[in-house]
Amino acid sequence: MICVSLGRTRHKMMIAEHQQLAQKGAQLVELRLDWLGNPPDLGRLLKDKPTPVVITCRRSQDKGLWKFGEDQRQTLLRSAIVAGVDYVDLEEDIAGTIRRYGSTKRIISYHNFDETPANLAEIHQRLASRDPDVVKLVTTAKVPEDNIRLLEVVKNAKVPTVGFCMGDLGVWSRILCRKYGAPFTYATFSAQRTMAPGQLTFEETRDVFHFDQINAETQVFGVVADPVAHSLSPLIHNAAFLAQGVNAVYLPFRIPRERFEHSLKALEALDIRGYSVTLPHKVAALELAQTKISPTAEIGALNTLFRGAAGEWCGANTDCDAALASLRLSFDPAGDPLHPQTDPLNGKRVLILGAGGVSRAIATGLIRAGAAVTITNRTKSKAADLAQSLGCVLAGWENRGAVGTDILINCTSVGMHPKVDETPFQQHWLDEAMTVFDTVYTPERTLLIAQARERGCKVVTGVDMFVRQAARQYEYFTGRSAPVEVMRDTLKKAISVVKVT
Ligand code: NAP
């Protein structure tokens, strides 16, 4: 179950949004009475309430907005109990002064906005001794490992316990607590009105992470990155799990660069089955992979970690496979894009714009496929290093329009949302005989893609590559063929929202 927190300054708005939430399918709503500008009118708020409610009224010392007296607050909480509300939230220190009555369930809560203390088990024991129906233990993650300690307490609890970490580093624990027995989690009405740092929206919690379907057997996957909030990978992997009825969840793990090795080791305690790996960890992750799927070692970076038959970590670079497969299919739609009998890329001249990680991955694959690769980059020294290490040709950034090529690939971030009116290659340099591949996928129709189409070039988009790299990861994760069309539709829908907002 998902408890949606609702805070508005006006009764009228709180009642209206409560109705809206019920229409959207919310099963439990927390009314944050401390948000109201006037003294709360319980009768008005509870009359015809469309869902079960949690009544919460936080003081300023608990980061709440209550501006009236403490006696008045406790009277309000008692009145809520007398009115028979479903749950009432009582902070640890007042739990003893507000008695159990009727059928109202008591949530005994502890919040720590500064840290995740070392004595979590002791705090939990204290809360559990205050006659709770549910213990709520919420702290702030300062390092990713804090989540693991907190989830351990949830798992070992004898009383139903809602426990997770706040903050950017704790987002995933809000979902994963379900696997360890949390009866519900908290989500917000809208992304614009979060009640606590790191809170997800009701829709994300329900429709992206499928919180209510998580159980003790659910396998866990995720993306490790920093930052990670923008990642579209949770959206498409979770959609794929749902489509195939796989009992698994895919989470966003924000892991700071300097903690990568330590945090991944600590996460072993949660038996994570696979990761997508992205910036800035693609090189560091190589160390973890006991087996490297070719040409991962040659590329010197990976984007996928998955468990091999003996439980060991295997590393793969699906960016490379995906980019080559997308290109091959544009030349030979009926061919096998991963293991072609005759490789359509063999002998092709390719000009790559950019000298970052994606450029290196794609260039390595193309050279192995027999293509003649030229690298150009805004920062010349990086292009020179890459060209030298791969043994390919270097071109000056200012001369890129004059390089004769069959395939042009944009591996820079130029043209990416929100700078959608930029292109790394002028239209009059394009030739209709070229195939133009833009790895940027937000938006799908970049200015480069639009101008190449206008010019009559064959085009390959970053969406095609993104879906293929995710689908290949999914295959490594699950051993099944990926529901590629579900993943593509989900990604396209998400990108169209990015365009509008
Ligand atoms: P990266 O290592 O940070 O490299 C970024 C590249 O973009 C560098 O070559 C950089 O040039 C260049 N660049 C940035 N701003 C520029 C500008 N204003 N003018 C010219 N060049 C500029 O990033 P990466 O991991 O290789 O990713 C590159 C792009 O690939 C991303 O932006 C993303 O859109 C795309 N991508 C696509 C997929 C997919 O599946 N479709 C997956 C991953 C990434 P300097 O060296 O001069 O800074």
Contacts of 305 (CB under 8 A, 6+ apart): 274, 275, 277, 285, 288, 289, 313, 314, 315
**Distance between CA 319 and CA 331 in Å, rounded?**
19
Q: Are residues 359 and 400 in the same domain?
A: yes
Contact 225, 278 (CB under 8 A): yes
User: Residue 498 — very low, low, confident or very high, per pLDDT cuts 50/70/90?
Assistant: low
Q: Are residues 298 and 361 in the same domain?
A: no
Confidence at residue 501, expressed as pLDDT on a 0 to 100 scale = 35
For residue 258, is it within any domain? yes
What burial letters (b/e) apply to 375-392, b meaning 16+ CB within 10 Å?
bbbeeeeebebbbeebeb
Q: Are residues 82 and 52 in the same domain?
A: yes
pLDDT, one tens digit per residue, over 381-430 is: 999 999 999 999 999 999 999 999 999 999 999 999 999 999 999 999 99
For residue 232, is it within any domain? no
**Taking 90 as the threshold, does the pLDDT of residue 224 lie above it?**
yes
Q: How many domains does the chain have?
A: 3
**Taking 60 as the threshold, does the pLDDT of residue 338 lie above it?**
yes
49 belongs to the catalytic site: no
Q: Rounded mean pLDDT of 186-207?
A: 89
CATH code assigned at 289: 3.40.50.10860
Q: Are residues 64 and 212 in the same domain?
A: yes
63 belongs to the catalytic site: no
Q: Which atom of ligand 1 is nearest to the CA of 469?
A: 40
Q: Are residues 283 and 389 in the same domain?
A: no
Q: Are residues 171 and 44 in the same domain?
A: yes
Q: Rounded mean pLDDT of 95-109?
A: 97
Question: What is this structure's pTM?
Answer: 0.93
CATH code assigned at 187: 3.20.20.70
For residue 369, is it within any domain? yes
Confidence at residue 99, expressed as pLDDT on a 0 to 100 scale = 95
The share of the chain scoring above pLDDT 90, in percent, equals 94
Contact 425, 400 (CB under 8 A): yes
Residue 197 buriedness (CB in 10 A; 0-12 / 13-18 / 19+): middle
Its domain, for residue 394, covers 333-460
Q: Are residues 422 and 446 in the same domain?
A: yes
62 belongs to the catalytic site: no
Pocket test for ligand 1, best of 235, 281, 411, 417 (most atoms within 8 A of CB): 411
For residue 227, is it within any domain? no
Confidence at residue 400, expressed as pLDDT on a 0 to 100 scale = 98
Q: Ligand 1: distance of its center to the CA of 302 in Å?
A: 16
User: Residue 191 — very low, low, confident or very high, per pLDDT cuts 50/70/90?
Assistant: confident
For residue 241, is it within any domain? no
pLDDT, one tens digit per residue, over 427-466 is: 999 999 999 999 999 999 999 999 999 999 999 999 999 9
Q: Are residues 456 and 476 in the same domain?
A: no
Pocket test for ligand 1, best of 358, 379, 449, 488 (most atoms within 8 A of CB): 358
Active-site residue (options: 136, 210, 281, 348): 136
Average predicted confidence (pLDDT) for the chain: 96
**Distance between CA 439 and CA 451 in Å, rounded?**
15
Confidence at residue 69, expressed as pLDDT on a 0 to 100 scale = 96
Q: Ligand 1: distance of its center to the CA of 255 in Å?
A: 21
Q: Which atom of ligand 1 is nearest to the CA of 355?
A: 9
Contact 195, 137 (CB under 8 A): no
pLDDT, one tens digit per residue, over 41-85 is: 999 999 999 999 999 999 999 999 999 999 999 999 999 999 999
Q: Rounded mean pLDDT of 474-479?
A: 97
Q: Are residues 152 and 279 in the same domain?
A: no
Q: Are residues 154 and 32 in the same domain?
A: yes
Q: Are residues 196 and 341 in the same domain?
A: no
Q: Are residues 439 and 470 in the same domain?
A: no
CATH code assigned at 366: 3.40.50.720
Question: Comparing C-alpha atoms, which of 163, 170, 162 is closest to residue 141?
Answer: 170
pLDDT, one tens digit per residue, over 281-327 is: 999 999 999 999 989 889 999 999 999 999 999 999 999 999 999 99
Q: Ligand 1: distance of its center to the CA of 181 in Å?
A: 42
Q: Ligand 1: distance of its center to the CA of 362 in Å?
A: 12
**Taking 90 as the threshold, does the pLDDT of residue 499 lie above it?**
no
Confidence at residue 188, expressed as pLDDT on a 0 to 100 scale = 95
For residue 237, is it within any domain? no
User: Residue 28 — very low, low, confident or very high, per pLDDT cuts 50/70/90?
Assistant: very high
Q: Among the three residues 168, 201, 216, which one is the final residue of a domain in this structure?
A: 216
**Taking 90 as the threshold, does the pLDDT of residue 196 lie above it?**
no
Q: Which atom of ligand 1 is nearest to the CA of 361?
A: 26
User: Residue 190 — very low, low, confident or very high, per pLDDT cuts 50/70/90?
Assistant: confident
Residues with CB under 6 A from ligand 1: 319, 354-359, 377-379, 382, 411-414, 416, 424, 439-441, 462, 465-466, 469
Confidence at residue 197, expressed as pLDDT on a 0 to 100 scale = 83
